[in-house]
Structure 1
Amino acid sequence: MKRSSRSFSALLVCTALVTTVFGIGSITAAADPAPAAAGPSVSAHAGHTMAASAVPSGDDADGDGYIPANPPVTGVTPSDREPTPRYFHEFQANCAVTHTAPDDPIVFPAQPGKSHDHTFMGNTTTNANSTTASLYGGNTTCKAPGDSSAYWLPSLYKGDKKILPIGPQVIYYKAGVTDYTSVRPFPKGLRYVVGNPLQSAQDFRSHPGWVEGWECGESFKNVDFPQNCPAGSQLNLRMQAPSCWNGLHLDTPDHKAHMAYPIVKAGTNNNVCPASHPVALPMIEFKMAWPVDGDMSQVRLASGRGYSFHYDFFNAWNEPTLKALVDHCIVGGLQCDPRGYDQAHPQEGAALGPDYRLP
């Protein structure tokens, strides 16, 4: 049976997460900054409740929101060892924008047009009906042809004009745990949502994936959009994803419960995966740049104010390609470009060939 791997207590936890985190129940929001000047009316609640889909789809035949890993990864103990310190353990998956659409194959699978507008990167075919099978091996705007994963975020507007990031955007794959040698590749078909379009300003500021907030010019750590950005500058944002997996599910009804952020081990400064989510995976970090400057009072997201920012990831990497990059760059303690090459350590070579494919 599909639910055999989860206990009644796990059901209670997931129900609580869906109810309290994603706004199905009551929400107590922190005080928000003063509203931006009026643009076209947008509600963060419109078309994006983050509730369980309750709609059968290609990867979730009964529509209950649980997609089991096959096979599951069990018997893992979170690693608390301290390997030789390396300042970097990462590689980049630079991916350009492909298209925009009011679709979300994670939150609203098989329901085209139900979401607020999203800007998609990576796989060129991503839509509401996307499944692991439809994405895997597909065309991509990522530097490495082996990365046919789908990445998306709420579209950004200035007034009525949609502003799209130009060129490849930096998507880091890093170690989120101190023992970077314990990181393993994503399982095929893993998906999750980072952040929440219903979050308050304080929720966004205290989110474990927060890095520096919205920034441009000399303005940093903004929860909402800066009031003004210098001419010629770009609006930037970085946000990190959870990197510890329960080993059991590729998705859960709230699109988050199967993932967790590392925790600090008591008595140390070491980041480790919690026992409930013992499998260390790459930590994705979006580093987005939008070509918008000047008066920012008309800037908004399709999901609402700046603090409604969130993003989605749907893994469709070619397994040998991802493993080569993870092993060479993250486990190997290098700072790699999309080819898996570290300019500071040229003697280590590259994980991929000049065409960004496995040699």
Structure 2
Amino acid sequence: MRSSPKRLSVLLVGTALIAGVLGIGTMASATDPADGIPPAVAAAVNHTGHRMAASTQASGDDADGDGYIPAVPPVTGVVPSDATPPQAYFHEFQANCSVTHTAPDDPIVYPGQFGKSHDHTFLGNRSTNAASTTGSLYGGSTACKAPADASAYWMPSLYKGEQKILPVGPQVIYYKAGVTDYRSVRPFPKGLRFVVGNPMQTAQEFRAHKGFVEGWECGDSFFNTDFPASCPSRPDVQLNLRMQAPSCWDGLHLDTPDHKSHMAYPVVKPGTNDNMCPASHPVALPMIEFKMAWPVNGDMSQVRLASGRGYSFHYDFFNAWEERTLKAMVDHCIVGGLQCDPRGYDQNNPGRGAVLNADYLLP
């Protein structure tokens, strides 16, 4: 019997135990790859820090409720590029998006279950809620500068005491090349979604996370895994965080039960300093990097996340870009080796032009 892409990852693992766990949705004994359990076995971790089984309820884009959403068509036959491209210091563009609303919803981890999650701060698509699907997000109203970016971005809400603190204005969301051969990067498939980080991670695990960049910072305080005890009380000082997402895709699934296993971080090519996608996840996609800033400073002892301490930070991405626009931005800015603003314009290379017009639309 020929296996569908949806079941391929289970078959590749090659044990009846794993197939049984994923097939019937029973409780797993571990919830994250950090526990030493293969990601395909790990049950999804909910955003309150409790352990949960893979979903067995049909909801949203997951018609049969098994946690796997297949890519149609799948992307197969890709070999990770280990080539060395022409030198280009930058290969990125910005998708600047503002906060739209907050809600205790998570359409990836808790699809269709309103109020099930801890509180999240949503950016980009204005309609994101527990019932969001690819169809409901695609073409929707957005707080991103490019109207074609109807993607949903969200993270745990930040509080100081009982006051919810929201980032003000457009936040920088980079789309970069995570692999050395930036020419091999292709656009996200429509409907791809994933979670970056783990609300249950320890401070040490957060620091060791492959997406960790500079941790929490404010003023002259950098590389903090938890919130600094204090930040300079000046109008120009905000609390900042940068965190990068995995950028290598298995080509088979738009989501998996743990919301991570279909994605992977690049690996180092043996004998070099070059990054390339692993054979298990051969498709190079843009690397998303959150660069968030919260208007809070002074005494930070009461600052917390809805998910807990500072090192519980994580975020979610649900792709709903209009395909032609995303491809044009990826091809011009990432594959083209440029440092682009949200219009796809590199001020250091004005002769290369811009992708979008003054209204941030594809001509």
TM-score by length of 2: 0.90
For residue 81 of structure 2, give the secondary structure of its aligned residue in structure 1: coil
Contact 2:206 2:212 in 1 (8 A): yes
Aligned to 1:209: 211
Aligned to 2:181: 179
| CA offset digits 1:257-289 (Å, max 9, x no partner) | 000000001001110000000000000000000
For residue 212 of structure 1, give the secondary structure of its aligned residue in structure 2: strand
1:197 corresponds to 2:199: yes
Aligned to 2:353: 349
Gaps of 5+ in 1: 28-43
Aligned to 1:91: 93
In 2, the alpha carbon distance for the partners of 1:247 and 1:296 equals 43
Aligned to 1:5: 8
Aligned to 1:324: 328
Contact 1:47 1:114 in 2 (8 A): no
Q: For 1:82-231, list aligned pairs within 5 A.
A: 82-231=84-233
For residue 211 of structure 1, give the secondary structure of its aligned residue in structure 2: strand
TM-score by length of 1: 0.91
Q: 1:297 to 1:26 in 2, by over 3 A?
A: farther
Residue correspondences, number? 342
For residue 126 of structure 1, give the secondary structure of its aligned residue in structure 2: coil
For residue 221 of structure 1, give the secondary structure of its aligned residue in structure 2: strand
Deviation at 1:25, TM superposition (A): 8.2
Contact 1:339 1:352 in 2 (8 A): yes
Deviates more, 1:54-63 or 1:248-257: 54-63
1:242 corresponds to 2:235: no
Q: 1:2 to 1:326 in 2, by over 3 A?
A: closer
For residue 217 of structure 2, give the secondary structure of its aligned residue in structure 1: strand
Contact 1:223 1:307 in 2 (8 A): yes
Deviation at 1:7, TM superposition (A): 4.0
Deviation at 1:52, TM superposition (A): 2.3
In 2, the alpha carbon distance for the partners of 1:118 and 1:299 equals 15
For residue 13 of structure 2, give the secondary structure of its aligned residue in structure 1: helix
In 2, the alpha carbon distance for the partners of 1:73 and 1:270 equals 24
1:334 corresponds to 2:338: yes
Contact 1:22 1:49 in 2 (8 A): no
Deviates more, 1:86-95 or 1:45-54: 45-54
| CA offset digits 1:110-162 (Å, max 9, x no partner) | 00000000000000000000000000000000000000000000000000000
Q: For 1:6-21, list aligned pairs within 5 A.
A: 6-10=9-13, 19-21=29-31
Letter in 2 for 1:154: P
In 1, the alpha carbon distance for the partners of 2:35 and 2:79 equals 35
Q: 1:49 to 1:337 in 2, by over 3 A?
A: farther
| CA offset digits 1:72-110 (Å, max 9, x no partner) | 000000000011010000000000000000000000000
Deviation at 1:21, TM superposition (A): 4.4
Q: For 1:17-28, list aligned pairs within 5 A.
A: 19-22=29-32
